[in-house]
Amino acid sequence: MNQSIKNICFDLITPICLILIAVFLRPALPSFEIAQTSVFENLPYVLLGISLLISWKFNQLDSFYLSIMLCVVYAATLQINLSGHNSNEFSYELYIAAISILFPLNFIIFKAWQVESTISASGIFRILLISGQSYGVFWSVQNHYAPLLDIFKFHILPDSMPLFESIPQIGIMLFILAALTQIGFIAVKQKPLDSTLLGALIAVFAACYSANEAFVFLSFFSAAAIMLVVATMQASYNMAFIDTLTGLPSRRAMETELNKLGRCYTIAMLDIDHFKKLNDTYGHDVGDQVLRMVATHIRRVGGGGRPARYGGEEFAVIFPSRSIIDAIPFLEVVRENIANASFALRDKDRPKKIPKTRSTRKKPANKVSVTISIGVAEKNRAHKLPAEVMKLADNALYKAKKKGRNCLCK
């Protein structure tokens, strides 16, 4: 299975598990005591407050604004008695219709229109948009403004094709569109936060569908809030421990990994040959492309190797519980794959649009052969500390450079 597909599947585990837990808890929830119910009702506020603080601190704006929307949605649902809504049918229907339509609509708008900070013009506009919508719905409920409910419950599909009774057709379509939009972001950007946001979107949809059951609604909403907390913490972790250019673990993550090594391990240092010359000749944009290409090959190292970007054009691979003899074949595969992969440079006059016919396409004017040198060392009686083994691997890398590059030394 492709590594990117594995990452996407792994990132979806948390939201899927939380949604399944909410589903399996459904029969047991009505048996909660009154005191437990009060705690359970306030749980989403606590979780969303944590999400707001963390996302604001680390500038995770998708999670920040989604937390605000969920706070507004949850506060709105507490204005009606979900377990006995028949006494105020109009308020119930308008609140649920507004949530099921405005939440996915805002979700789509916010994903399409990214902001740089909460104090930017577009960031303030988001707050004003949420506030304006909230006030409009609240005013409509207070004044029993039926035309708004008629708009929300407008039937696009024939009445003979009902999908869900509790969610308007427009809301269902917007939820589907929002989910497809989020799946597109997951496929392109492959960020853990996007996978969890998709889970939160599904949980809110399930909450709207089960809104007439108070405890079920609370369980799905709590699941969505937990997802946001997990996603924000995961995004914050990635900022500290994942290299943004290559997607590999950073030097800080590698240093943390070194503290966990046992009695036997091997460390390899890898460096791109003539990288400074390549950078000076073709520019930093090409240099970044080369770094990403090399990182892609290093990420595929076998033998249980754990790669990281050490800094600049230098990478490291840690082989826990492996001797140097066991690790070398896997490193050689990486070195050979990089050497055999020709890197095509993009022409400056390359057209932005792809030509319709193959004959009109230009072949790349330049191709660059990229190679790496590798130094490898293992823990021994004279060198027991990870820092000492890394120093040995760095010395072996220097030997590989002197030897002519595109080789491995130990």
3-state secondary structure of 399: helix
Rounded distance between C-alpha atoms, residue 235 and residue 222, angstroms: 20
* Residue-by-residue DSSP string for 165-210: SSS-HHHHHHHHHHHHHHHHHHHHH--HHHHHHHHHHHHHHHHHHT
Could you tell me whether strands 265-272 and 314-320 are parallel, antiparallel, or unpaired per DSSP bridges?
A: antiparallel
Residue 30 pLDDT grade (very low, low, confident, very high; cuts 50, 70, 90)? low
Could you tell me whether strands 408-409 and 372-378 are parallel, antiparallel, or unpaired per DSSP bridges?
A: parallel
3-state secondary structure of 315: strand
Residue 352 pLDDT grade (very low, low, confident, very high; cuts 50, 70, 90)? very low
Which of 37-46, 168-177, 338-347 has the largest mean confidence?
168-177
> pLDDT tens digits for 217-240?
777 777 888 888 877 787 777 777
Range from 28-32, 121-125, 219-223 carrying the lowest mean pLDDT:
28-32
Tell me the average pLDDT of the chain. Answer: 80
Residue 311 has φ and ψ, to the nearest 5°, of: 155, 140
41 to 7, 215, 311: CA distances (angstroms):
34, 9, 48
CATH of domain 251-347+362-409: 3.30.70.270
Which position has the token pair 């609140």? 95
Average pLDDT over residues 57-80: 80
**Whole-number pLDDT of residue 222:** 79
**Whole-number pLDDT of residue 83:** 42
Q: Are 148 and 140 in contact (CB under 8 A)?
A: yes
313 has catalytic annotation:
yes
Using CB atoms within 10 A of its CB, is residue 274 exposed (0-12), middle (13-18) or buried (19+)? middle
Residue 2 pLDDT grade (very low, low, confident, very high; cuts 50, 70, 90)? very low
- Residues facing 242 on adjacent strands: 249
Tell me the pTM.
0.65
Residue 320 has φ and ψ, to the nearest 5°, of: -65, 140
Of 272 and 232, which is predicted with more confidence?
272
Which of 199-208, 266-275, 380-389 has the largest mean confidence?
266-275
Domain map (residue ranges) of the chain: 3-240, 251-347+362-409
Q: Which of 116, 165, 255, 313 is catalytic?
A: 313
pLDDT at 280 over 80: yes
Dihedral sign computed on CA atoms, order 120, 124, 127, 129: negative
Question: Half-sphere exposure of residue 271, counting CA atoms within 13 Å on the CB side?
Answer: 22
